Amino acid sequence: MVGPAYCEKPGRYQCCIPTECSEKDGFFYYYPSGQCFKFNTTTNFDWYSAKAWCDSLGLEMPHPRDAIGLRSYMWQEWGHKEPWLNLVKEASPGTNYIWQDNGAIVSSGCPFWFPGEPIYDCVILLAWDWRYATNPGQPFFTRGCNDGAYFALCEKLIPGHP
């Protein structure tokens, strides 16, 4: 149930930010998907250290329900700071990518891949200026998992919230 005890900013339309997703605690709430995230824009991470940072906070690597919309929002807020996603290449036979939280498969033919992708094993939410401008509907881009030039985005799962 959504209501004053559950929301930081209750309103008559019952559209609110869960108290567990407070900006003062460093989170941002992405309304279209109802997801809560924490974004570290000050430290570069490889995929493994981004996962470790999320784990250390009791958070998950992100699995955006609206990758295109989230990418657009983040690009407007932070520019070309590209975060790692919880999406990695399957170990065998190695042609699909797997969401680590639920095992869902993303095939190499998925329309969300940037042209020419996928290539490497781990996936970022692409936000580089010219790539974003030329392909706004293709947010998935692969990098080597040990590439330490990207950022940690963590998702806070809120029980009972969409």
Can you say whether residue 128 is alpha, beta or left, with left for phi > 0 and alpha for psi between -120 and 50 degrees? beta
CATH number at residue 148: 3.10.100.10
92 occurs within a structural domain = yes
11 occurs within a structural domain = no
Number of domains in the chain: 1
4 occurs within a structural domain = no
Q: What percent of the chain has a predicted confidence (pLDDT) above 70?
A: 88
73 occurs within a structural domain = yes
The residue assigned the tokens 């993303």 is: 106
pLDDT in tens, 22-37: 899 999 999 889 899 9
pLDDT in tens, 126-155: 987 777 778 889 999 999 999 999 999 999
Domain ranges, residue 143: 42-152
Residue 162 — very low, low, confident or very high, per pLDDT cuts 50/70/90?
low
Q: Is the pLDDT of residue 5 over 80?
A: no
Whether the CB-CB separation of 78 and 41 falls below 8 Å is answered with: yes
5 occurs within a structural domain = no
113 occurs within a structural domain = yes
